[in-house]
Structure 1
Amino acid sequence: MTILKSAELDEEVSAVGPKPNAFGQIDGRAGAAVLAQTPPAQAGHAHGAASQPPSRAKKLKEVAKTFLPDALFVSLLHHKCIGRYPNLLNPTTFNEKILQRNLHPDPRYIPLTDKLAVREYIAGKIGEQHLIPLISAPEEFTPEVFEALPEAFVMKANHGSTFVEIVRNKADTSFEKLKALADKWLTTEFYYVARERHYRTIEPRLFFEQLLLDRRGQIPADFKLHCFNGRPGQRPIMYLLVISDRFGDATHGDVFDVDWNRLDIQIGPYTRSPVPPPRPAHLQQILDVAARLVEDFDYVRVDLYAPDDKVYFGELTFTPGAGVLPFKPDSIDYEWGKLLA
């Protein structure tokens, strides 16, 4: 699931650039920009929070941005978020190379970025036991579909980031509320957020999954594994960003190596936990699943959930942060750039 919380770049980008979602973040996709960057008529909604109607001048500005050529748009966006203009002709940093992927995506990215279509690939690659159980993927969201849903579930859309609504108790929401949210998602052209071209041809679909909870009844941490140099039979280079309490009031992000050594790295705006999360008992299983999923790619971010002793697939992200993902220290942008072909 591509969703976030707790401050990822709180500054509004005046000329072009991502704006924070309802939680004041830019999805670290995590990352790209949030749906407010799309044309006003298509603007989406993150996690059901209310949005203010834009002024006429703001609408005109947003529409005008859609006419900027992709390369110019992403260059301005990178400058706003990273603090320098990117070298698109001879990219060296991680973010610059991700921008190149935005502009020239591998055709494989399209079905593997589609959060519904990718399920078939995942089932064949690592087995259906790693898929979050799918409740339904209706052609149309109707009152009958709503009534058939269980008491707890997650509503998602397949064609972008932040399209996630967690429902712990169906009695606390309504068909009308969810339908309004779903309609906003489905009319959002996510390509306009940060010009990630592989999103442009994904047909928007709504779907519902089982709500994952651990034995304590908590939503499990989100494991985002940045995986480099994938090859069959070989161990990739991996860094783990572990996002805890993602939907609560104490969201943190901690970066580890494969031996669970916490690194002094900040990805996006996630602050490190006061006390590092404990090493998962089944860490090796988490790493093994990610290694299988990166075998066919020189780089992909593999998102997993690992409640208790299980491992579930979240998504494959080929352009995390849309090429505008801040690192602290900034030297990581260059170090990871060397790892990415």
Structure 2
Amino acid sequence: MSLKKYIKPSFLRRIYGILDLLPDEIVLKLQYRVALGRRLNIKNPERFTEKIQWYKMNYRIPLMTQCADKYRMRDYVLQKGFSEYLPTLYQVCDKFEEIEFMSLPESFAIKCNNGSGTNIFIEDKSNMDISFIKNTINSWSKVNTLSIGREWAYKDIPQKIVIEELLDSNDNEDGSLNDYKILCFNKKAKLAWVDTTRHVDHRRNFYDLEWNQLQVVSDCPTTENTISKPYGFEKMIEIAECFAADFPFVRVDFYSVNGKVYIGEITFYPWSGCVQFTPDKFDYELGKSFNLPPITN
């Protein structure tokens, strides 16, 4: 349940301001207790969700910040030799007033480089609501990912407005794309999950690397619709494992559109480490795959 539905943004900002004064360990223990109703074992973590909290606190390298930045991540992908799998970049701006709408194509996507769920999708430029776009973009500056979940990788990312190619597919009736996410532990891909119908009735299915569905539920129900293995799934795994060579744990997101694979984003803290799996033992199973690295800070 999101508190934002019931609490005024100004009050939430005051709460975040207070949280800023508290040490990471206290905030993460509080967040974990509130979200999952159990104590966080940070000294000897066994669950995946516990190890993500440990990861936030104890493993911090500059490359994580670059890859968490949806704009600077593109340079990392280029260096790895996979730039052809990135959507076309149109513009990068510091504020709404810098956007050159006249030079943009009829459809495009506007994204915030350091947020989650901070996207605007324009399918027809002639019908876009400029006031809505401006207000939405201005609201992104009020989102403090670091305070909310102490997600260290986002700490030093200057906020940018990224405008890129709008990927178009007929994956779902609501117009959303299937979002394929590959989880990698210790340099190897372990499993995938797929998000579908995100705009109207968000569903999520988990699969092994042979595309057998796993009987696991997270914070979204599963879909009963058959989801075929996407075109380019093997390429997704190849790319994800190439990136995973640089991190103890990473999730790499992809789209498969009209016979082509696209890289979406790279992230290190799924669900901010606060998700209840059913069955609960799945949390421990993923935790066994996550060998914690030496502390870096």
TM-score if structure 2 supplies the norm length? 0.88
Change (3 A) 1:182 1:323: same
- Aligned identity (percent) is 27
Matched, 1:257 2:208: yes
CA drift at 1:89:
1.3
Change (3 A) 1:126 1:243: farther
Corresponding residue of 1:206: 161
Tell which deviates more after alignment, 316-325 or 289-298.
289-298
Residues 189 and 200 in structure 1, CA contact (< 8 A), matched pair in contact too: no
Corresponding residue of 1:276: 226
Corresponding residue of 1:22: none
Corresponding residue of 1:70: 24
Corresponding residue of 1:325: 275
Partner Cα separation in structure 1 for residue 208 and residue 75 of structure 2: 30
Residues 126 and 289 in structure 1, CA contact (< 8 A), matched pair in contact too: no
Change (3 A) 1:297 1:198: closer
Equivalent in 64, 78, 82 of residue 109 of structure 1: 64
Corresponding residue of 1:141: 96
**Amino acid in structure 2 at the alignment position of 1:151:** E
Residues 302 and 316 in structure 1, CA contact (< 8 A), matched pair in contact too: yes
Matched, 1:85 2:51: no
Partner Cα separation in structure 1 for residue 138 and residue 96 of structure 2: 9
Corresponding residue of 2:86: 131
Matched, 1:243 2:195: yes
Change (3 A) 1:57 1:311: closer
CA drift at 1:282:
3.0
Equivalent position SS for 1:97: helix
Tell which deviates more after alignment, 79-88 or 164-173.
164-173
Residues 226 and 300 in structure 1, CA contact (< 8 A), matched pair in contact too: yes
Equivalent position SS for 1:328: coil
CA drift at 1:120:
0.7
Residues 215 and 308 in structure 1, CA contact (< 8 A), matched pair in contact too: no
Change (3 A) 1:294 1:55: closer
Change (3 A) 1:57 1:297: closer
Root-mean-square deviation over aligned CA pairs: 2.3
Change (3 A) 1:78 1:216: closer
Corresponding residue of 1:306: 256
Partner Cα separation in structure 1 for residue 128 and residue 6 of structure 2: 21
Equivalent in 192, 214, 223 of residue 180 of structure 2: 223
Residues 231 and 256 in structure 2, CA contact (< 8 A), matched pair in contact too: no
Equivalent position SS for 1:137: strand
Corresponding residue of 2:294: none
TM-score if structure 1 supplies the norm length? 0.78
Higher helix share: 2
Equivalent position SS for 1:255: strand
**Amino acid in structure 2 at the alignment position of 1:95:** T
